[in-house]
Chain A
Amino acid sequence: MRGADDAAPVGEEEQMTLLEARKGSRVRILEIPDDRARAQCIRFGIGEGTVVDWAEPLRVGPVLVRQANQEICLGRNLAARILVEEAAPYGGCGLDVRGRGA
């Protein structure tokens, strides 16, 4: 059994899947393993390295991702394969070099 004490050490970027993202959080997309989904996401403006403005795993539904004015929905199974990490919120001190318009 893993307890709360076993969480990732402080200071290290924590990887998770898109399905585990907090509602309304900004996350950086790290890896989209599926070829076709990756190509389609790049067309939508969301590639590996992109920081999305708003991620929301919908209750009993897919994951909503918003980037600039573009919104897409990804099925849960797909979202569970996409790796992300939490990015600093707007106005935070995090270096956001690969955000939109970069």
Chain B
Amino acid sequence: MRATDHARPVSPAVSASAACHGHISVQAPDGARRVVLVGNPNVGKSLFFNAFTGLYVDVSNFPGTTVAISSGRMGDDVMLDTPGIYGVSSFNDEEIVARDIVIDADVVLNVVDAVHLERDLFLTLQLIDMGLPLVVALNMVDEAETRGMRVDAAELARLLGVPVVPTVATRRRGFTEAQAALAEARVGLSDPVLQDRLVSLLDRVGTRGEALLVLEGDPFIAERHGIEPFGLRDEIYLDRRQRVNAVVSRVVERSGGGLDLRTRLGHALLRPLTGIPVLAAVLFIMYEFIGVFVAQTVVGFTEGTIMQGYVEPLIRQAVSAVVGSTGVLYQLLAGDFGVLTLSTTYIFGLLLPLVIGFYLMMSLLEDSGYLPRIAALTDRMMTAVGLNGRAIIPMILGFGCITMATITTRILGNERERKIATALMAFTIPCSAQLGVITGLLAGAGGFSLTVAYGAIMVVIFGLLGVLMARFVPGESTDLLIDLPPLRVPHPMNVLTKTYRKTIMFLREVGLYFVVGSLLLGVLQVTGALVAAQTWLAPLTEKWLLLPRQTSTAFIMGFVRRDFGAAGLYSLGLSGTDVLVALVTITLFVPCIASVLVITKERGKSFAAFVWVGSVVLAFLFGGILAHVAGWLA
């Protein structure tokens, strides 16, 4: 998942489970060179990749991890894209994946941002120290110029000992030269003292690259070769830092000083007084686009007109022609929760447009450089619930689809944070499908004041549960440590490609769970378990929540799809506070089957069980309290 290219996890802790897979390489045909693209986040790497490989690109999960890797043909060679990283080691999933691909590279094309050479050349020198044949694409030379910087590419090539090609990826300038330079790729000039040390390790470790990582204390590479990691990271890093600074001081000429307008604007976005109003405006625009345009207009067409109007009848016809229109098999395949009807409509009619809408927005926020600023702005608030600002990313996605957001929790620093974020979302954040019905009900029943009351109650519950979990979920949360890329106008093609790739990844990863989910429900319905559960819940609904008996049907429907649950309330004609009680209960109530399955996959069975049971308990606890408090007040 590359939902946050620029705000890479830089947290002090790394999930051990994600890091302990074996050594795996992406396949390349015989005789083909493996050209690997490497660079810091947000340096325009994907523009190179798209230009060099064309349309036929394979996006797949790197085996054993959760990071998406793109690969494609470039002439006779294979080009592999890697996640944006600041250095090669194993601080997080992205680095582990990039590390394993880089180690096997025949040629590395290292894209660096001319404006941030102090940062980017650290990775470059590390790749050189690893003994990899390298070409450097000095990207964004135009932006460097407008910032009053002059970068001497020839001098940089001389100091590094590798070809350096100035490029402007957004205008495809320098691409031909960069591609041609790959034939000239060379192992650059490393530090002689360091190289001596590496050579002494070579008989125990396969390559210079792996030897370097062992010296830098990478525990996984060391284990692979059955030796103890060396603790020389600080020394090697500091030394490399000084080499980078020496190179930069010789190739970069800066004129002017002080903070330019773009930088000042960037700072304003971080300060609460100016940043919060901007964030509110951005969220409002997102809501208008996704919550109103996509969720209502687009989904109305794709779900209602296309899927329910044309596709579902066709499927039903086909199924009844084969198995007849009565009987269990028909019910399972094409009934109310039919695997072929419900899941097809759900995935293509409802989820697909929403997920595209969300990834489009996220890609825009990401490429503009705004996303890490949102993370910074919300960091303090997130700290209170045991998370850091980076957790705002899955939280925003949660309003789209909890399933999608649960997958995105992979970007968080450690398992404790992933658990807290997953549970908070599953408990308190209504997904877009549900949100549409909720806002409709609120508007119908009491309008503005009721909406404010609902929002306030949910925020309070979110805070309460977050503080409790921060207290009781074992472990320690990581601190925010992120790089703020400059604000930039996103490149439309790049945004679209990213949206497309992420959407495909999402469907590929969770499509099956939606199918399994509707199959489970079909079985529950056919066996009569659904009706039994409704009857069983009824007393709780009447006596404790003080709601009509039929409301329990709505809750049970919530198991299926959370919006089914909320939609079930429409027909009951509830009044003011009853609506509030019902909506708070149903928001807290169990996440949909697909997200429960994904939670199980990501966090394990017992955690999924905790979330599921917990959501039932919390839903009735808070719903009941609210009902009784409202009763006393009235």
Contacts and interface: CB of A to CB of B under 8 A. Distances in A.
Interface of A: 34-45, 47-48, 54, 56, 58-62, 64, 66-78, 90, 100-102
B388 interface: yes
Nearest to A67: B118
Given A44-B483, A54-B259, A73-B480, 19 more contacts: A35-B233, A36-B91, A37-B12, A40-B481, A41-B481, A42-B240, A43-B86, A44-B119, A64-B267, A64-B484, A69-B116, A69-B118, A72-B484, A75-B388, A76-B379, A77-B383, A77-B479, A90-B257, A101-B245
29 contacts: A34-B12, A37-B481, A38-B234, A40-B10, A43-B122, A43-B237, A44-B119, A45-B118, A45-B119, A56-B267, A58-B376, A61-B376, A62-B376, A68-B116, A69-B147, A69-B486, A70-B116, A70-B119, A72-B482, A73-B375, A73-B389, A73-B480, A73-B482, A73-B484, A74-B481, A76-B380, A77-B383, A100-B248, A102-B245
A39 B234 CA distance: 7
A62 B115 CA distance: 24
A77 B399 CA distance: 29
Interface in B401-417: none
Contacts, number: 135
B39 to A, nearest CB: 13
Contacts of A34: 12, 479
B344 to A, nearest CB: 44
B252 to A, nearest CB: 8
A74 B482 CA distance: 7
Contacts of B273: 59
Nearest to A35: B12
Interface in B1-22: 10-13
Contacts of B233: 35, 39
B242 to A, nearest CB: 8
Nearest to A101: B249
Contacts of A37: 12, 479, 481
Interface of B: 10-13, 86-87, 89, 91, 115-116, 118-119, 122-123, 147, 233-234, 237-238, 240-242, 244-245, 248-249, 257, 259, 263, 266-267, 270-273, 372, 375-377, 379-380, 383, 388-389, 479-484, 486
Interface core residue of B266, B372, B389, B483 (most chain A CB under 10 Å) = B483
Contact of A70 (B123, B240, B483): B483
Nearest to A99: B245
A31 to B, nearest CB: 12
Given A42-B238, A45-B118, A59 B271 contact: yes
A66 B376 CA distance: 14
Given A36-B13, A38-B234, A42-B237, A71 B266 contact: yes
A73 B270 contact: yes
Contacts of A78: 12, 479-481
A68 B238 CA distance: 18
B119 A62 contact: no
Contacts of A58: 270-272, 376
Contacts of A68: 116, 118
Nearest to B250: A101
Contacts of A42: 122, 237-238, 240-241
Contacts of A38: 234
Contacts of B263: 66, 71
A64 B270 contact: yes
A54 to B, nearest CB: 8
A74 B238 contact: no
A75 B379 contact: yes
B118 A61 contact: no
A66 to B, nearest CB: 8
Contacts of B480: 62, 73-75, 78
Interface core residue of B10, B87, B257 (most chain A CB under 10 Å) = B10
Contacts of B91: 36, 39-40
A39 B248 CA distance: 20
Contacts of B372: 73
A45 B242 CA distance: 9
A59 B118 contact: no
Nearest to B388: A75
Nearest to B12: A36
A24 B560 CA distance: 54
A60 B480 CA distance: 14
Contacts of A47: 237-238, 241
Contacts of B240: 42
Nearest to B10: A40
Nearest to B126: A43
A41 B481 CA distance: 8
Contacts of A73: 270, 372, 375-376, 379, 389, 480-482, 484
Interface core residue of B249, B376, B484 (most chain A CB under 10 Å) = B376
A19 to B, nearest CB: 12
A72 B483 contact: yes
A41 B13 CA distance: 14
Given A37-B479, A45-B119, A75 B383 contact: yes
A85 B89 CA distance: 31
Contacts of B89: 39
Contacts of B234: 38-39
A100 B119 CA distance: 12
Contact of B241 (A45, A59, A60): A45
B86 A44 contact: yes
Interface core residue of A39, A47, A78 (most chain B CB under 10 Å) = A39
A62 B10 contact: no
B379 to A, nearest CB: 5
